[in-house]
Amino acid sequence: MKTAVIGSGGWGTALALTLHRNGHQVFLWSHDGQKAKQVCESRENPMLPGIKLPEGLTVTGDDRCVIGCEMVVIASPSVHIRGVCRRVAPYLDENAVMVSVTKGIEQDTFLRMSQIVEEETHRPVVALTGPSHAEEVALQMPTGCLAACADKKKAELVQDAFMSDTFRIYTSPDIVGAELGGALKNVIALCAGTVEGLGYGDNTQAILITRGLTEIARLGVALGANKQTFAGLAGIGDLIVTCTSRHSRNRRAGVLIGQGMGTQEALETVGAAVEGYYAAASASALAVKLQVEMPIVEAAYQVLYNHRSASDVLQTLLNRQRRPELEDVGWH
């Protein structure tokens, strides 16, 4: 199958490698023609050092690479999704299936990434998400992800395209839950890094991750997601890997903030998209709009955008009014 991966960051490159290894014809597109040329010549992406790109994988900066592609993967950072989709949309085949692999919520519109892709390309969209660091997928370490779409056949097409001995893909009709889990876990990972930077240990991480998952599910259900989705790969799976791994950009940024570095300096130090920063603003505003209680997300927003002290905000969270853990289970 002829495919294109739009976005040559680490994740887009890892997915392009996966598709190529599965026997597909793959074009890896970069918005920067000069970068595409450099990667073409070196056969190595600086975002994945040490990983050689096979000669049969075409790296290009030409928007027309999507012509004739049955499947087009959108892997650009969330803030660039609209612009990138507008660039390639005129060249898409009428029956092309779009695959959104970026995690985030657009500010102001509160749209998920698949909704933006669909709005700009007028094509069906499958969300591919889950606990998957690009570095490990590129090295073919066993990984599991979720292909989510209301159209079962489209989800199965993506499942078949990416499935391999080391990359296991499950399907789900719950694209809302799948994408929200992927977007909001980045906010919690920023918080997890922050408490680590403050000097706290495993106990603090555990309460943050589990209560963070409760908030993610709470907002997801309010938006029509299936609560069970958050107990799977796109929920707790992605949350664990992003909150605990050295590969996580969101966690690394949080550590720097917890150690006292300013937000913008921390983002620049990490040197790649920290999606949790953008998602925190969107999630906080969305929670207010829907009247959903999300104290951890709100705490993240206060630290990231209003420059509140991370230690003070953590203390406020810990001193909240006591309550039962489960909201929908009563005493017998």
Q: C-alpha distances in angstroms, 150 versus 126, 176, 202, 248?
A: 8, 10, 38, 30
Pairwise CA distance, residues 128 & 126, whole Å: 6
Catalytic residue flag (residue 185): yes
Enumerate the β-bridge partners of residue 98. Answer: 72, 125
| Amino acid occupying residue 260 | G
Phi, psi angle pair for 28, to nearest 5°: -105, 115
| Amino acid occupying residue 23 | G
Tokens representing residue 43 in the block: 């056969």
CA dihedral 240, 278, 314, 286 (to 10 degrees): -100
| Residues 8/29, Cβ–Cβ less than 8 Å | yes
Q: Of the listed 2, 52, 185, 227, which one is catalytic?
A: 185
267 SS3 class: helix
From first CA to last CA, the distance across the chain in angstroms is 57
Eight-class DSSP state of 237: I
Pairwise CA distance, residues 60 & 48, whole Å: 17
For helices 202-222 and 275-290, angle between their N-to-C axes, nearest 10 degrees: 50
Sign of CA dihedral 220, 215, 132, 33: positive
Cβ atoms < 10 Å from Cβ of 147: 26
Phi, psi angle pair for 154, to nearest 5°: -70, -40
| Amino acid occupying residue 137 | V
Catalytic site positions: 185
